[in-house]
Amino acid sequence: MPNTLDLIIPGLLGPVPQPPEPPRTPTLDLLLDRARKDADSAWADLPSVLVARFGAEVAAPYALAADDPDWDRQGWWLHADPVHLRPDRDLLRLFDARHLGISCAEADGLVAALNAHFADDGLQWHAPAADRWYLRCEKPPAIQTTPLAQVAGQHIDRYLPTGADASRWGALMSEAQMLLFQHPLSQAREAAGRPAVNGLWCWGGGTWQPPATPPDLAAGPGPLLQGLAAAAGLPCQSHPGGDAAELLAGAGAGGRLLVLWDALDEALADRDLDAWAAAARDLEQWLAPVPGLLRNASLAELRIFSCDGTCHALRGQDLRWYRRRPRWLLGHRRPTLVQRAAVD
């Protein structure tokens, strides 16, 4: 029985300006051109796709379990990521911790201040990684939240929590924001010309439990994927190997494989077009065997999640010329990856 492959590629479709040396990606262009496109809001960002593909409910407990292996898996936890909020006209724009350079000493000092201040509110912060913080709530708030990945670089107003406890929660977070802004560590950062850690973005809250529908094999980096795989009792290698054929050969027959390829997204976050193009070339090389694997039914189905609300799915029959006429026969060129990802 052939395998299926879920390939999760945040940053695949940009948006990016024209790279200095656009990559040639004929395999990717073919796969995207022939794929069936499905849309679902559950695929709007990387955490949401990972949680959905594992049949889990939330993100925070699994990422926490990977960041702190000694955690007892008890309680109700939120991501409470440190961020920088910058006034932009009459709104606040959010910048995540990826480029804040928060040290462990700074994280420990700020978290200690938060814990001392909010002890009577049943809130307890934990920072097992300097740029990834978590919040345990004695009484889970009735709020709906938005993953940080959707908010980074955006004005926060339309992403603020909603629900029955949204008003009280907003007041608590405003209080936390003021505490962080006034803390000597944040003031020292500003005096040194560095962005202050002056806000928190809370999202993905819930309790730890085994995922309901995990894949049979997972590969890729990051605490959320590693934590989900561990909760499901799966091995999770940090890299998917030399190419797709190698991964499939090592997986055995009949399983669902999940691969996270995050190099394009990392390059976009760094605004490094050369790195994005290099990552696209590496992905193209890794995917080179896939059309053949689909045609000979070694791979039953490929699903590409671009983490923008879209899934591109295809089977072997989608690559047969009589099933879908090549666009070049109709006088049209197949759009390239760079054209698909280009900024309008």
Q: Do residues 8 and 82 share a domain?
A: no
pLDDT of residue 242: 82
Per residue in 297-316, pLDDT tens?
A: 889 999 999 999 999 999 99
Among 206, 227, 260, residue at a domain's last position = 206
Per residue in 221-273, pLDDT tens?
A: 999 999 999 999 988 888 887 888 888 877 667 788 999 999 999 998 888 88
Is the pLDDT at 6 greater than 60? The verdict is: yes
Range of 233's domain? Answer: 3-57+215-240+251-341
pLDDT tier, 335 (very low <50, low <70, confident <90, very high otherwise): confident
Q: Do residues 126 and 255 share a domain?
A: no
Q: Are 334 and 33 in contact (CB under 8 A)?
A: yes
For the ranges 117-126, 145-154, 323-332, the lowest mean pLDDT is seen at 323-332
pLDDT of residue 343: 61
pLDDT of residue 270: 84
Q: Do residues 298 and 332 share a domain?
A: yes
Which DSSP string corresponds to 120-169? Answer: GGTEEEEEEETTEEEEEESS----B---HHHHTTSBSGGGS-BSTTHHHH
Instruction: Tell me the pTM.
Output: 0.91
CA-to-CA dists, residue 255 to 6, 117, 219, 244, 305, angstroms: 11, 49, 14, 14, 18
User: CA-to-CA distance for 52 and 17, rounded, in angstroms?
Assistant: 31
Q: Residue 259: what are its φ and ψ, rounded to 5°? A: -125, 130
Which distant-in-sequence residues (6+ apart) come within 8 Å of 178 by Cβ?
A: none
pLDDT of residue 2: 79
Q: Do residues 222 and 320 share a domain?
A: yes
3-state SS assignment for residue 195: coil
Is the pLDDT at 77 greater than 60? The verdict is: yes
Residue 246 lies in a domain: no
Q: Do residues 70 and 167 share a domain?
A: yes
Residue 156 lies in a domain: yes
Per residue in 20-71, pLDDT tens?
A: 778 899 999 999 999 999 988 888 999 999 999 999 999 999 999 999 999 9
Residue 245 lies in a domain: no
